[in-house]
């Protein structure tokens, strides 16, 4: 039920993000969720795409520095306090979030969030036991 | 202009014939001392010099082979030490071209003689026991701090061993203790001046009247600028760790070139190609032979500094010749905020970091009045895990490794592979974007 996230090292150079998106677009790869963590000189672009294997090989073939990470995608009620409900479980069960971000799409009354947990396997287990709706990679790919 | 004063009138105004006789007898002693080191014995014997008697005139200097910085590295740590360890009272090291530093040992008499030379410099520049001296160069292995310190105490100045950095405290001490003379790099003094302006510090609270500036090249117009901005007299200072440190050559109150103490150093200026002496006024590489040093005698040491002897006598009466400003280097050494840095040192550090590739770029520019060193490296794709904290730690580790080797703080920037000059051939890696002097 874990989802593959692709991380890209991007130096702080004009047009670099444009290069990535152009390349993915030309290869028919759709970005589902995306986030950038940046410092003064470089950034890390994190994304969930519909075809992670293909995206990785295309990016590497074009000399991008890329790696994959397991993340957990969670459905959150799209209403005030929706995210808080999930975070309450996370806090009470002592799970540690390294970072999180939202999906581009939402479905009906649910919003999709991406979590990178310190221990993804444990997190998956705990969340499911607490009735949180976790979304698998096949669902992400067919959104 | 201040009145001409001497610390050691007899030596400073010695006539040239007597100076040359003194040089010859000291050179013989130095050659004998050098022959007692395993490093020099072989190479002097190969040149047919087995004892002081093989040196009959100063012209015999030509028979003595040169010594280079690489030689000092090869002799590291103690093959150039000419006295028993028990007689050594101090050592100073400086950066080598790779990871190995160079070391100079001193006996008590070496320190005494060095102090005497620095005292001459300070008095020649018109300072004396009435002055409060704030020494704003780094203390420790770097010779700039301790070298001036001992000489200034000898002269009887009130010495503030401020060392470098902490600008706010430097200015506070200038105000509180009535500092009259400072020793610094030109860029640091410019930086201090900009802080004084920025903080709107009342100039009338400062008693500054003189600055001794050295350790990095600067132009005559920079001297004028500093003199006007701070309302002080600026004197140019020259030294290098291999020749003790500061106190090799210094300007007198006429500020027309730096008197080099020729009773302590035989001074040659040699054509870069032929390595034959050039005429006064012509530019060449500065080569020194120590005449007084007992622990680490150095024969014909090639400084790689380019300069010229100023022709003619100086009105101050000193007979020791004057050196012009240092015009440049014959090697690729960089001078960054007064510290000597070789690109090969940086390369050596980077090659020991498995997470970065072999391509790199060294950029030097100005941030305000101070120099800034940026080292650009490429991260190695296979090592990338996507964790930003890991990259931050990597950057921190490279920064501290470089700091440990260079003794100055660089800025390290991580880049994507393929964005820096490739490692094959003679890639241009050093970009010195500082304004030309």
Got the DSSP string for A83-108? HHHHHHHHHHTT--EEEEEEEEEEET
Q: Does A66 touch chain B (CB under 8 A)?
A: yes
The predicted pLDDT at position B426 comes to 62
Are B379 and A13 an interchain contact pair (Cβ–Cβ within 8 Å)?
no
Whose tokens are 């009470």? That residue is A92
Contact B64, B57 (CB under 8 A): no
- DSSP letter at B52 equals G
Write the burial class of residue B9 (CB in 10 Å: 0-12 exposed, 13-18 middle, 19+ buried).
Answer: exposed
Composition of chain A by helix, strand, coil, percent to 5: 35, 40, 25
Number of A to B CB contacts under 8 A, please give it. Answer: 47
**Cβ count near A84 (within 10 Å):** 11
**Cβ count near B241 (within 10 Å):** 22
The predicted pLDDT at position A106 comes to 64
Write the burial class of residue B74 (CB in 10 Å: 0-12 exposed, 13-18 middle, 19+ buried).
Answer: middle
ω into B77 cis (within 30 of 0): yes
- Would you identify the CATH topology of the domain B1-330? Rossmann fold (3.40.50)
Q: Does A14 touch chain B (CB under 8 A)?
A: no
CA A107 to each of CA A49, A76, B303, B434: distance values in angstroms, whole numbers, following the listed order: 16, 10, 74, 57
All residues of chain B having their beta carbon less than 8 Å from the beta carbon of residue A19 are none
Question: How far does B419 lie from chain A, in Å, by closest CA?
Answer: 9
Q: How far, in Å, CA of B356 to CA of B379, rounded?
A: 4
Contact B324, B257 (CB under 8 A): yes
Chain centroid to CA B33: 25
Strand partners, B432: B364
Residues 80-119 in A contacting B (C-alpha not used; CB under 8 Å): none
The predicted pLDDT at position B355 comes to 87
- Residue A70: both structure tokens together: 């397991």
Q: CB-based contacts of B292: which residues, under 8 Å, 6+ apart?
A: B26, B109, B110, B113, B263, B264
Q: Does B381 touch chain A (CB under 8 A)?
A: yes
- Check whether domain B334-432 has CATH 1.20.120.610, yes or no: no
The predicted pLDDT at position A11 comes to 87
Q: Does B416 touch chain A (CB under 8 A)?
A: yes
Q: How far, in Å, CA of A52 to CA of A140, rounded?
A: 11
Per-residue confidence band for A60, with pLDDT thresholds at 50, 70 and 90:
very high
Q: How far, in Å, CA of B195 to CA of B212, rounded?
A: 19
The predicted pLDDT at position B152 comes to 98
Are A65 and B415 an interchain contact pair (Cβ–Cβ within 8 Å)?
no
Contact B238, B185 (CB under 8 A): no
Q: Where are the domains of chain B?
A: 1-330, 334-432
**Mean pLDDT score, A130-140:** 87
Looking at chain B, how many residues does it have? 437
Chain centroid to CA B84: 27
Q: How far, in Å, CA of A100 to CA of A70, rounded?
A: 12
Got the DSSP string for B226-263? HHHHHT-EEEEEEEEGGGTEEEEEEE-TT-SSEEE-TT
Q: Can you say whether the dihedral through the CA atoms of B173, B174, B176, B179 is positive or negative?
A: positive
Per-residue pLDDT of chain B (437 residues; tens, 9 = 90+): 889 999 999 999 999 999 999 999 999 999 999 999 999 999 999 999 999 999 999 999 999 999 999 999 999 999 999 999 999 999 999 876 666 889 999 999 999 999 999 999 999 999 999 999 999 999 999 899 999 999 999 999 999 999 999 999 999 999 999 999 999 999 999 999 999 999 999 888 899 999 999 988 889 988 999 999 999 999 999 999 999 999 999 999 999 999 999 999 999 999 999 999 999 999 999 999 999 999 999 999 999 999 999 999 999 999 999 999 998 899 989 999 988 999 988 988 998 898 888 889 999 999 999 999 999 999 888 888 888 889 999 999 999 999 988 889 999 999 998 888 775 556 789 999 999 87
Summarised one tens digit per residue, pLDDT across range A62-89 is 989 999 999 999 999 888 999 999 999 9
Residue of chain A whose alpha carbon sits nearest to that of B382: A65
- Nearest by CB to residue A37, choosing from B388, B415, B417, is B388
Q: Does B391 touch chain A (CB under 8 A)?
A: yes
Residue of chain A whose alpha carbon sits nearest to that of B412: A41
- Nearest by CB to residue B384, choosing from A39, A46, A67, is A67
Residue of chain A whose alpha carbon sits nearest to that of B386: A7
Alpha helices in B374-418 (DSSP H): 388-406
């Amino acid at each position: 039920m874990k989802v593959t996230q692709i991380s890209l090292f991007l130096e702080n150079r004009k047009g670099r993000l444009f290069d990535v998106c152009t390349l993915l677009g030309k290869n028919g790869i759709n970005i589902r969720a995306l986030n950038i963590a940046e410092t003064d000189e470089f950034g890390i672009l994190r994304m969930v795409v519909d075809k992670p294997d293909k995206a990785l090989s295309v990016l590497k073939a074009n000399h991008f520095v890329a790696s994959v990470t397991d993340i957990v995608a969670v459905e959150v009620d799209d209403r005030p306090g929706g995210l808080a409900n999930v975070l309450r479980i996370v806090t009470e069960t002592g799970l540690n979030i390294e970072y999180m971000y939202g999906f581009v799409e939402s479905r009906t009354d649910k919003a999709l969030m991406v979590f990178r947990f310190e221990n993804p396997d444990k997190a998956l287990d705990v969340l499911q036991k607490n009735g949180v709706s976790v979304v698998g990679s096949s669902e992400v790919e067919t959104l | 202009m201040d009145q001409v004063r001497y610390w050691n009138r007899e030596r400073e105004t010695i006539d040239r014939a007597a100076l040359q006789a003194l040089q010859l007898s000291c050179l013989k002693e130095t050659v004998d001392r050098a022959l007692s080191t395993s490093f020099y014995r072989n190479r002097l014997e190969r040149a047919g010099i087995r004892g002081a008697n093989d040196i009959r005139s100063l012209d015999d200097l030509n028979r003595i082979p040169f010594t280079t910085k690489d030689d000092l590295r090869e002799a590291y740590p103690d093959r150039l030490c000419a006295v028993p360890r028990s007689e050594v009272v101090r050592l100073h090291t400086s950066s080598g071209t790779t990871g190995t530093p160079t070391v100079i040992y001193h006996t008590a008499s070496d320190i005494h003689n060095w102090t005497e030379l620095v005292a001459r410099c300070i008095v020649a520049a018109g300072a004396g026991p009435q002055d409060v001296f704030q020494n704003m160069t780094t203390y420790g292995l770097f010779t700039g701090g301790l070298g001036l310190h001992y000489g200034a105490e000898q002269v009887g100045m009130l010495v503030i061993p401020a060392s470098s950095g902490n600008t706010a405290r430097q200015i506070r001490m200038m105000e509180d203790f009535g500092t009259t003379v400072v020793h610094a790099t030109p860029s640091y003094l410019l930086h201090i001046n900009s802080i004084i302006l920025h903080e709107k510090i009342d100039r009338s609270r400062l008693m500054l009247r003189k600055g001794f500036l050295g350790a990095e090249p600067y132009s005559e117009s920079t001297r004028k600028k500093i003199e006007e901005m701070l309302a002080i007299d600026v004197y140019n200072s020259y030294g290098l760790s291999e020749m003790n440190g500061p106190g090799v050559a210094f300007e007198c109150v006429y500020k027309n070139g730096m008197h080099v103490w020729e009773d302590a150093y035989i001074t040659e200026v040699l054509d870069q190609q032929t390595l034959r002496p050039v005429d006064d006024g012509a530019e060449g590489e500065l080569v020194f032979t120590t005449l007084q040093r007992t622990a680490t005698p150095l024969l014909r040491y090639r400084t790689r500094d380019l300069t010229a002897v100023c022709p003619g006598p100086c009105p101050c009466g000193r007979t020791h010749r004057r050196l012009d400003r240092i015009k440049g280097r014959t090697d690729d050494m960089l001078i960054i905020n007064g510290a000597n840095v070789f690109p090969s040192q940086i390369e050596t550090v980077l090659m020991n970091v498995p997470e970065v590739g072999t391509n790199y770029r060294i950029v030097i520019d100005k941030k305000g009045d101070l120099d800034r060193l940026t080292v650009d490296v490429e991260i190695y794709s296979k090592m990338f895990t996507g964790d930003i904290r890991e990259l931050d730690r990597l950057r921190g580790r490279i920064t501290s490794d470089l700091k440990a080797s260079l003794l100055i703080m660089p800025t390290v920037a991580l880049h994507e592979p393929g964005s820096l000059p490739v490692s094959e051939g003679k890639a241009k890696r050093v970009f010195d974007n500082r304004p030309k002097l």
